[in-house]
Amino acid sequence: MRLYRLLIPILAIILAILLLSTPGFTAGKQITIKGSTTVLPIAQAAAEVFMDKNPAARISVQGGGSGVGITSLIERTCDIADASRKIKDEEIAKAKARGVIVNEIPIAMDGIAMIVHPSNKLSALTRRQIKDIYTGKVSDWTELGVGKGKIVVLSRDTSSGTYEAFEALALHKEKVRTNALINASNQAIATTVANTPGAIGYVGHGYLSRKIKAVSVDGITCTRENILSGKYPLSRSLYMYTNAKPAGEVKAFIDFVLGREGKQIIEEEGFVGLR
């Protein structure tokens, strides 16, 4: 019994120590960045380096997809929206209705690579074939002449800018087949393709690695040069959107991303810096 009498003061002391030892509650503006998982590695790496150089800065980074970012910008729950697709007209209208003036800042270029498992003999696809696979007309690898088995089609969920860009560039707005496996991010698709011999998926150029194999589209490979020159058919721009022209810390961060160090980070993460 006596032991339990002591328990409460002991717990209170432990609690006090824990509360006091973590940096206390002070005021400080937090820059919130939400959106595209394609842009996520850029945003996060940039945020880290920026915070290293500006200790007073506080940045919070989230993914969720371009749709989440743009929605948050319109609802004023984030300062910067990362997007791997252009904002839609109806979204600009919705923003205006809520008093948000959308300001578009392109930060990099990217190509959507079509990836398969390294053991897959496939090395080239036409846009027609991509569309047939993804809309359900082609379901087996034998139809493409590269081995047996069902094609495990991977796609992104509806909040993904990569998905929207893919839908526009490769599917011409037709619906993805209903039995496509939905993944939450570029990395999820890359990991699943790396682990599933019969899978096919699409990811941003920055997510290519030795564990997956990119195939050429209409004869053109997904490389930096081809993306920059516009030859690669599935190229797109990456954007950061803000509410009106950025000011204060937000401006400082955007300038950083567009500056020399930002470009270096963009290239390191596998994307193509703007010239």
Partner 1 sequence: MDIRTIRETVYRWIFAVLAFAALVFLIGIILILFKEAWPFFAQYSAVKALLGQSWYPTASPAEFGMLPLIVASVVVTVGAMAVCVPIGVGSALFLHELAGVRLRAVLKPFIEILSGIPSIVFGFFGMLVIAPFLQNLFGIPTGLNAFTASLVLGIMAVPTVSSLADDALSFVPASFHEASLAVGATRWQTLTRVIVPAAGSGISTAIILGMSRAVGETMTVLMVAGGAAVIPRSIFDPVRPMTSTIASEMGEAMTGSPHYHALFAIGLILFLITLSFNIIAEIVSRRFRLKLGLGR
Partner 2 sequence: MNRARISEVLGFTLLWLCMAFCLFFLGAILYFIVVRGAPAISWEFLTSVPRRAMTKGGVAPAIVGTFYLTLGAMLLAFPLGLASSIYLCEYSPKNASVNIIRLSINNLAGVPSVVFGLFGLALFVKAFGFGVSILSGALTLGIMALPGIISASQEALIAVPQSYREASLALGASHWQTIKKVVLPSALPGILTGVILAVGRVAGETAPILFTAATFYTRDYPTSPFSEVMALPYHIYALMTEGTHPDEQTSIAYGCALILLAMVLAISGIAIIVRGRQRSSYGT
Binding residues vs partner 1 (CB under 8 A): 64-65, 67-68, 71, 74-75, 94, 149-150, 152, 157-159, 175, 178-184, 192, 195-196, 198-199
Please choose which of partner 2, partner 1, none residue 187 contacts, taking the beta carbon within 5 to 8 angstroms, the exact cut-off set by kind.
partner 2
Distance from C-alpha of 162 to C-alpha of 200, rounded to nearest angstrom? 15
Please choose which of partner 1, partner 2, none residue 129 contacts, taking the beta carbon within 5 to 8 angstroms, the exact cut-off set by kind.
none
Closer residue to partner 2 (CB): 75 or 255: 75
Please choose which of partner 1, partner 2, none residue 44 contacts, taking the beta carbon within 5 to 8 angstroms, the exact cut-off set by kind.
partner 2
In our burial notation (b when 16+ CB lie closer than 10 A, e otherwise), range 248-261 reads ebbeebbebbbeee
Please choose which of partner 1, partner 2, none residue 174 contacts, taking the beta carbon within 5 to 8 angstroms, the exact cut-off set by kind.
none
Closer residue to partner 1 (CB): 140 or 225: 140
**What is the bridge-based pairing of β-strands 59-64 and 31-35?**
parallel
Closer residue to partner 2 (CB): 35 or 233: 35
Nearest distance from C-beta of residue 205 to partner 1, angstroms: 23
Distance from C-alpha of 253 to C-alpha of 168, rounded to nearest angstrom? 31
Nearest distance from C-beta of residue 218 to partner 2, angstroms: 29
Bridge-partner residues for 242, per DSSP? Answer: 80, 103
Nearest distance from C-beta of residue 93 to partner 2, angstroms: 22
Residue 91's Cβ-side half-sphere holds a number of Cα atoms within 13 Å equal to 21
Nearest distance from C-beta of residue 56 to partner 1, angstroms: 29
User: Which positions ≥6 away from 271 have C-beta within 8 Å?
Assistant: 42, 108, 109, 110, 204, 205, 206, 238
Give the CA radius of gyration of the chain. 22
Q: Note the maximum CA span of the chain.
A: 80
Closer residue to partner 2 (CB): 36 or 216: 36
Angle between helices 248-258 and 260-268 (to 10 degrees): 60
Closer residue to partner 2 (CB): 30 or 179: 30
Contact 186, 177 (CB under 8 A): no
Please choose which of partner 1, partner 2, none residue 192 contacts, taking the beta carbon within 5 to 8 angstroms, the exact cut-off set by kind.
partner 1
Distance from C-alpha of 195 to C-alpha of 188, rounded to nearest angstrom? 11
Contact 76, 69 (CB under 8 A): no
Nearest distance from C-beta of residue 212 to partner 1, angstroms: 15
Nearest distance from C-beta of residue 105 to partner 2, angstroms: 21
Please choose which of partner 1, partner 2, none residue 74 contacts, taking the beta carbon within 5 to 8 angstroms, the exact cut-off set by kind.
partner 1
Which of 182, 127, 129 has its CA nearest to residue 153?
Answer: 182
In the complex, the residues that contact partner 2 under the rule CB under 8 A are: 1, 4, 7, 15, 18, 22-28, 30, 32, 37, 40-41, 44-45, 47-48, 51, 58-64, 77, 183-185, 187-188, 190-191, 207
Closer residue to partner 2 (CB): 63 or 67: 63
Distance from C-alpha of 271 to C-alpha of 108, rounded to nearest angstrom? 7
